[in-house]
């Protein structure tokens, strides 16, 4: 079975002092049974990672953490970039790649995302590959084709041992930060199509074991309906993850719905 994964992408919010307070409040709101049932991950800005690492290591918290991006390069003259080896040294487990906000704001191509995945795997980090469509593509009725093309391009050249380490996050761009969550049926349709494509790209085993997350205005009030869907294995949460009590409520969905 696939262990559900709930990841909180803080985006460009919370300095390193605020990060300590939010992480502590989140940890106080969770119990061992929550960590046993769900992988709970926080993804703060780069500037917070060392503080989060020190707190989690020092208090032996069962939270996992990661970064919002990575350089495709290993080291060198890349001003402003952060390398996979630096993130590994900071104890990161997961790293987002291909988030629509990076694609839009930094003109990130599928080819660049592919190189970033390679850099993460080289440093034993687990990519969370974000794919999703703009509203006009959805309205044109070709959103599934668009998402699967992104998936194929970003995963080009990877073999089965590598594919096993990758998490996929389906994030319809029109649902991000808008309060307009995709319907559970919509999320299921795309996540099922992604899983079917993973059978072709990788194997039945890879498709069965890959966690596919939904992201886009996830809140505690809509988590259960989304998580009931067979091919949805978790959520990539933005705004709601900045409130530790709300993010804890989202992470505790398993207390009502058994996905194991």
Binding interface with ligand G3H (CB under 6 A): 9, 171, 176-177, 215-218, 236-240
Closest approach, Cβ 232 to ligand G3H, in A, equals 14
CB of 97 to ligand G3H, least distance (A): 12
238 belongs to an annotated ligand binding site:
yes
217 is in an annotated binding site: yes
Between 145 and 177, CB nearer to ligand G3H: 177
Q: Is 239 annotated as a binding residue?
A: yes
Tell me the residue number closest to ligand G3H, measured at CB.
238
Contact 172, 139 (CB under 8 A): no
Which residue lies nearer to ligand G3H by CB, 202 or 238?
Answer: 238
> CB of 64 within 8 A of CB of 109?
no
State in angstroms the smallest separation of the CB of 161 from ligand G3H. Answer: 27
Structure tokens at 39: 């992988």
215 three-class SS: strand
Is residue 99 among the annotated active site residues? yes
**Distance of closest approach, residue 64 Cβ to ligand G3H, in angstroms:** 16
Q: Tell how far CA 123 is from the center of its chain.
A: 18
From the candidates 171, 197, 229, 246, give the one annotated as an active-site residue.
171
Q: Kindly calculate the radius of gyration of the chain based on its CA atoms and give it in whole angstroms.
A: 17
Give just the sign of the alpha carbon dihedral 135, 126, 237, 101.
Answer: negative
Give the sign of the dihedral formed by CA 251, CA 254, CA 255, CA 256. Answer: positive
Q: Is 106 one of the catalytic residues?
A: no
Which of the residues 39, 99, 143, 229 is marked catalytic?
A: 99
Q: Known binder of ligand: residue 9?
A: yes
- Angular region, 12: left φ>0, alpha ψ -120 to 50, beta rest: beta
Considering beta carbons, is residue 9 or 23 the nearer one to ligand G3H?
9
Neighbours of 56 (CB within 10 A): 18
Instruction: Between 128 and 206, name the residue whose CB sits nearer to ligand G3H.
Output: 128
Give me the active site residues, please: 99, 171
């Amino acid at each position: 079975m696939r262990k559900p994964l709930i990841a909180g992408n803080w985006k460009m919010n919370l300095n390193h002092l605020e990060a300590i307070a939010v992480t502590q409040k989140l940890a106080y709101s969770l119990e061992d049974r929550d960590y046993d049932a769900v992988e709970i991950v926080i993804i703060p800005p780069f500037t917070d990672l060392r503080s989060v690492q020190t707190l989690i290591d020092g208090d032996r918290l069962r939270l996992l953490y990661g970064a919002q991006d990575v350089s495709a390069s290993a080291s060198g003259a890349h001003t402003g970039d952060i390398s996979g080896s630096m993130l590994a040294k900071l104890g990161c487990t997961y790293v987002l790649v291909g988030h629509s906000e990076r694609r839009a704001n930094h003109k990130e191509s599928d080819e660049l995302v592919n190189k970033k995945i390679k850099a993460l795997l080289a440093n034993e980090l687990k990519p969370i590959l974000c794919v999703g469509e703009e509203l006009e593509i959805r309205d044109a009725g070709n959103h599934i084709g668009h998402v699967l093309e992104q998936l194929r391009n970003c995963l080009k050249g990877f073999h089965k041992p590598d594919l096993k380490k990758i998490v996929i996050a389906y994030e319809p761009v029109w649902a991000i930060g808008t309060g307009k969550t995709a319907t559970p049926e919509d999320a299921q349709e795309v996540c099922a199509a992604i899983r079917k494509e993973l059978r072709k790209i990788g194997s039945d085993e890879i498709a069965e074991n890959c966690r596919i997350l939904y992201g886009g205005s996830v809140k505690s009030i809509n988590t259960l309906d989304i998580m009931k869907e067979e091919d949805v294995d978790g959520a990539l949460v933005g705004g709601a993850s900045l409130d530790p009590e709300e993010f804890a409520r989202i992470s505790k969905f398993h207390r009502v719905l058994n996905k194991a």
